[in-house]
């Protein structure tokens, strides 16, 4: 193995990779066991790139493993914006819960959630949709210096967002690594936070142990018992309880 | 700012007009778009407020180990999606003039951002729910949620 002044060359390359915009690193080949064509199967294990030492791969966290390079990775390279990588493994991991947002077939579970089949094919389709997001008519980039995901929590990181203002679907990238992290459809509140502060997903401290109890602010209403009790028309009996209890 | 249903309906129609032309309301008229968002948030928060006991029950079930983290987060995802569908339906009815007298519920501000935070926490922890960090975070969330509810 290459050694530079006693430092593992892979360590240097890895650190450089974290600092610079992502590229599909040619040093990472594929193990012979990796299927050369996309297929299906929900239990496919993340494979170690051939150029990555076993020890290094074994030491990776689950999160880091999902970011190891794969030959299906896609690059988003739009002038004036950071270069981004939509990783295959991370996409495969996220596709069951978020594939429906990108036009993939899904089933609706009893609890109302959606589930898309987890396979190479669905992962690739979602990756294609994300890669195409910057070219949608009303796509908006949020890559300002202060753009942050889950700001105010110990999970916060500088972020790049590609937001589709028509569908309200966002793709979240880690600005430092350029790697795709997640995708979801924003609520109105999250959308306002993203547009106003370039930060969403922090949960305003609800889960950090800091008691959060925001006083009423913003809109104030002319309050009356009749309005409180009768003011909202139910759109679906199973969805809205009109009692204001 | 006082809630004005007439203005809300007007902005919903403006937004729809831009949408029909394939344009973004936010790009074309950012101030009006954000004004509309503030009204829409009031609807979103009121709907969540009306379902707050479902979240309370769900969190208790998880913290009492009646359901595991996977089931808990699945239900969080489903609940959030259902509430977003309910919000969209309601806004369509509001825009069509089918809602006579909507008023935001000031109490609903107390739980503002809770479900979004819960959703993002679950999304961030996917397939890795069975650990102390996730459990402790949910415990903190539940305590804060309870505190807000008890101040009703």
Q: What is the pLDDT of residues B90-100, one digit of tens each?
A: 999 999 999 99
Confidence of residue B128 (pLDDT cuts 50, 70, 90): confident
Backbone angles phi, psi at A201, to 5 degrees: 90, 0
CB contact under 8 Å between B89 and A235, yes or no, is yes
For residue B96, the chain A residues in CB contact (below 8 A) are none
pLDDT tens, A39-50?
Answer: 445 556 788 888
The answer to whether A192 faces chain B, any CB pair under 8 Å, is yes
- Of A114, A70, A110, whose CA–CA distance to A96 is shortest? A114
Complex ipTM: 0.95
CB contact under 8 Å between B93 and A232, yes or no, is no
CATH number belonging to domain A70-205: 3.10.450.200
Chain B residue with minimum CA distance to A190: B116
What stretches of A27-133 show up as alpha helix (H) in DSSP?
Answer: 54-58, 62-65, 88-98, 120-132
Considering only CB atoms, B103 lies closest to which of A184, A227, A239, namely: A227
CB contact under 8 Å between A203 and B27, yes or no, is no
Considering only CB atoms, B109 lies closest to which of A196, A216, A235, namely: A216
Taking the domains of chain A in order of start, what are their residue ranges?
Answer: 70-205
Task: Count CA atoms within 13 Å of residue B113 on its CB side.
Answer: 22
Confidence of residue A104 (pLDDT cuts 50, 70, 90): very high
pLDDT at residue A122 above 80?
Answer: yes
Q: How far is CA B118 from CA A173, A175, A202, B138, in A?
A: 20, 23, 9, 8
Tell me which of B87 and B132 has the higher pLDDT: B87
pTM: 0.80
- Of B127, B118, B104, whose CA–CA distance to B56 is shortest? B118
CA B43 to chain centre: 9
Is the Cβ–Cβ distance between A161 and A147 less than 8 Å?
yes
């Amino acid at each position: 193995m290459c050694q530079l002044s006693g430092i593992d060359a892979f360590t240097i390359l890895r650190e450089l990779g974290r600092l610079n915009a992502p590229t599909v690193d040619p040093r990472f080949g594929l193990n012979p066991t990796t299927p050369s064509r996309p297929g299906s199967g929900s239990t496919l294990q993340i494979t170690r790139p051939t150029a990555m030492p076993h020890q290094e791969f074994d030491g990776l966290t689950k999160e880091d493993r999902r970011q190891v390079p794969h030959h299906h990775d896609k690059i988003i390279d739009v002038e004036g914006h950071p270069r981004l990588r939509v990783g295959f493994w991370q996409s495969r991991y996220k596709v069951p819960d978020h594939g429906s947002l990108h036009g993939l077939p899904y089933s609706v579970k009893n609890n109302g959630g959606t589930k898309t089949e987890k396979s190479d094919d669905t992962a690739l389709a979602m990756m294609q949709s994300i890669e195409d997001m910057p070219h949608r008519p009303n796509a908006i980039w949020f890559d300002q210096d202060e753009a942050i995901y889950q700001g105010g929590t110990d999970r916060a990181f500088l972020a790049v967002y590609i937001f589709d203002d028509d569908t309200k679907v966002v793709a979240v990238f880690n600005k430092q690594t350029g790697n795709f992290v997640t995708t979801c459809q924003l609520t109105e509140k999250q959308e306002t936070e993203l547009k106003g502060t370039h930060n969403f997903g922090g949960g305003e401290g609800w889960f950090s142990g800091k008691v959060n109890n925001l006083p009423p602010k913003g809109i104030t209403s002319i309050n009356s018992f009749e309005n409180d009790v009768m003011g909202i028309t139910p759109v679906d009996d199973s969805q809205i309880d009109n009692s204001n209890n | 700012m006082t809630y004005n249903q007439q203005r809300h309906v007007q902005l919903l129609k403006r937004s729809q007009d831009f949408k029909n032309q394939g344009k973004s309301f936010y790009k074309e008229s950012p101030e009006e778009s954000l004004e509309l968002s503030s009204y829409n948030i009031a609807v979103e928060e009121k709907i969540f407020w009306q379902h707050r006991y479902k979240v309370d029950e769900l969190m208790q079930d998880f913290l009492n180990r009646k359901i595991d983290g996977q089931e808990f987060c699945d239900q969080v995802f489903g609940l959030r999606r259902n509430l977003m569908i309910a919000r969209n339906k309601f806004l369509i009815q509001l825009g069509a003039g089918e809602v006579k007298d909507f008023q935001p519920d000031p109490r609903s501000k107390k739980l503002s951002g809770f479900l979004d935070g819960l959703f993002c926490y679950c999304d961030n922890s996917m397939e890795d729910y069975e650990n102390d960090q996730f459990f402790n975070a949910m415990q903190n969330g539940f305590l804060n949620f309870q505190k807000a509810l008890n101040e009703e």
